[in-house]
Amino acid sequence: MIVFLTDWGNSHYVGICKGVIRQISDSEIIDLTHEISSFNAREAMYILYRSFYHFPKNTIFLVVVDYGVGSSRKAIAAKTRNYYFVGPDNGIFTLVFEEEPPIEIRELNNKKYHYLNSQTFHGRDIFAPAAAYITNGKFKELGDLLPNYATLPYIKPKKSNKKITGEVAYIDKFGNIETNIPFEWIKEFETLKIRKKRKYIEIPVVNYYSEVLPGQLIAHNDSTDYLEIAINQGNAANLLKLKSGDFLELIL
């Protein structure tokens, strides 16, 4: 099974890659999501990390989210204890590889297993065919062994007696702030304070939006057991001027 994650929206680019896969393999293709914000490798890193372990053993994750800049990076495929991961070597696998260390990493430089040779559509030409060839048992032939992989620096969540720090994982389409802070750490509190410049804003910890008036901030449990900061019928990221990767400091 190939699980497909990109920042392309549900565009024909997704459909084209499925066509290329079907030229090589009959393996089922499941969309994880294609709604990652454009060029947001950090968001992809978090979404993948919160999703991969719900899929059966031997699933191949095809992840194509790149930065929008011109720096070169390798194309890789990695085998871990339970899964395969295929994508750009730009740090998107940082968190999953902490849990599932790569046993073997291949650089996708064997042109025999490329589809076409464009500069602009590596998803179609390198990554999708690599995922498909892995279903055919060709992992070791995809290219040279690599000793390591790129990581994306991130702020690990930390908890002290009075303070929690972490980072914004991503902003969802409603402007809700998804953090990398386990909700477990704050669930016993009735409120928390978030620092905004020199001021602290107090936010109630609630179960439902409807517990506060429209326009008010809330802290609650997102669907994957992390703290989410939201506004009832509003855009929390705009109000707090926060974006993916920003430092968070919460006072309990």
Q: Which residues bind a second copy (CB under 8 A)?
A: 1, 3, 5, 9-16, 18-20, 22-23, 29-35, 47, 50-51, 54-56, 59, 68-70, 118-121, 123-124, 172-173, 207-211, 221-225
For the chain, how are helix, strand and coil distributed in percent, rounded to 5?
A: 25, 30, 45
Residue (70 or 137) nearer to a second copy, CB: 70
Minimum Å gap between C-beta 68 and a second copy is: 6
Residue (165 or 224) nearer to a second copy, CB: 224
Minimum Å gap between C-beta 53 and a second copy is: 9
Write out the E strands in the chain.
2-6, 29-33, 60-64, 75-79, 84-88, 104-107, 145-146, 158-159, 163-171, 177-182, 191-196, 199-204, 217-221, 226-231, 247-251
The residues, ordered by sequence, that sit 6+ positions from 69 with a Cβ below 8 Å of its Cβ are none
Minimum Å gap between C-beta 153 and a second copy is: 20
Minimum Å gap between C-beta 223 and a second copy is: 4
Residue (107 or 172) nearer to a second copy, CB: 172
Residue 240 CA to residue 175 CA, distance in Å, equals: 10
Residue (165 or 221) nearer to a second copy, CB: 221
